[in-house]
Amino acid sequence: MMELYHKTCNECSKLITTKYSTSFSTGIRVFAKPLRTPIYGIYGFVRFADEIVDTFHNYSKADLLTEFKQDTYKAIENKISLNPVLHSFQQVVHEYNIDLEYIEAFLDSMEMDLHFETYEDALYNKYIYGSAEVVGLMCLRVFCKDNPQQFDSLKANAQSLGSAFQKINFLRDMKSDFEERGRTYFPGVDFSNFTNEDKKLIEADISKDFEHGYEGILKLPDGARFGVYLAYNYYINLFDKIQKAPAMEVKEKRIRVNDTKKMFLLFSSALKNSMNMI
């Protein structure tokens, strides 16, 4: 019966992923089958932690996050949890030897969102590492389970890719982050006076991250490469739309890639993958 419980908890993490992110769930579905469940487990965990600090405005976020952190460490220590998301995640932690430092850094970054409204250089770099780069490293642990040397060689690339994704999220969600949560992530940027020059500097930084991250995609194991490339391709297209928009438009609306374009990206990426062009 424990197998049924494991399976049920894993299905919960999969459901969370599909409900919250069509882009990532599509990418996960094209991973080799053994990789899908652990990546769902990681996504379910980070998604729920993020929801606490971003969405639950009518509740004590600090209390909820403290409880979530305590329950996370209990789940890892006891190797079981009655919270299906945490039970699914702790299985991934143990099976793939996820570093506790990554989990601590991620949870610390979530807590930062409860206390900081602006992020200057040191805080910004710490936040990017904890909220995005370590998530990439957790996934890389799964991809390189039997090859620690490969993991070590791709760590920096995975961090760059996670960083690029997060910074694009910051640009995409700039309006809601400021108006609903009072946050401004980019150091030295005044939301009320966000200029095209500000935007170009941020985009140049993202382009460097993307270039370095893509180099790592090419060296990923076969079962992971296509799925990560698909997510990369989606974000590159979103980035292209943001680059073409003036700063005022980025301030005023959430730029997105529509579902039709996402389907096109899926098929075009699949074609490149089948022709060994990735």
pLDDT 10s per residue in the chain (278 long)? 899 999 999 999 999 999 998 878 888 999 999 999 999 999 999 999 999 999 999 999 999 999 999 999 999 999 999 999 999 999 999 999 999 999 999 999 999 999 887 888 889 999 999 999 999 999 999 999 999 999 999 999 999 999 999 999 999 999 999 988 888 899 999 888 999 999 999 999 999 999 999 999 999 999 999 999 999 999 999 999 999 999 999 999 999 988 888 888 878 887 787 777 77
Domains, in order of start, for the chain: 2-274 (1.10.600.10)
- DSSP secondary structure of 23-85: HHHHHHHTS-HHHHHHHHHHHHHHHHHHHHHHT-TTS-HHHHHHHHHHHHHHHHHHT--SSHH
Q: Which two tokens stand for residue 268?
A: 């075009």
Q: How far apart are CA 203 and CA 172, in angstroms?
A: 12
Nearest CA-CA partner of 27 in 179, 233, 230: 230
- Predicted pLDDT of residue 269: 83
- Predicted pLDDT of residue 97: 96
The 3-state DSSP class for residue 118 equals strand
Q: How far apart are CA 266 and CA 148, in angstroms?
A: 30
Q: How far apart are CA 127 and CA 184, in angstroms?
A: 12
Whether pTM exceeds 0.75: yes
What does R_g of the chain's alpha carbons equal in angstroms? 18
- Predicted pLDDT of residue 26: 87
Find tokens 């992020």 and name the residue.
Answer: 119
Q: How far apart are CA 221 and CA 141, in angstroms?
A: 12
Q: Which two tokens stand for residue 72?
A: 């996370």
Q: How far apart are CA 114 and CA 181, in angstroms?
A: 10
- DSSP secondary structure of 176-230: HHHHHH--B-STT--GGG--HHHHHHHHHHHHHHHHHHHHHHTTS-HHHHHHHHH
Nearest CA-CA partner of 99 in 136, 57, 55: 136
- Predicted pLDDT of residue 75: 98
Q: Which two tokens stand for residue 179?
A: 């108006």
Find tokens 């200029």 and name the residue.
Answer: 195
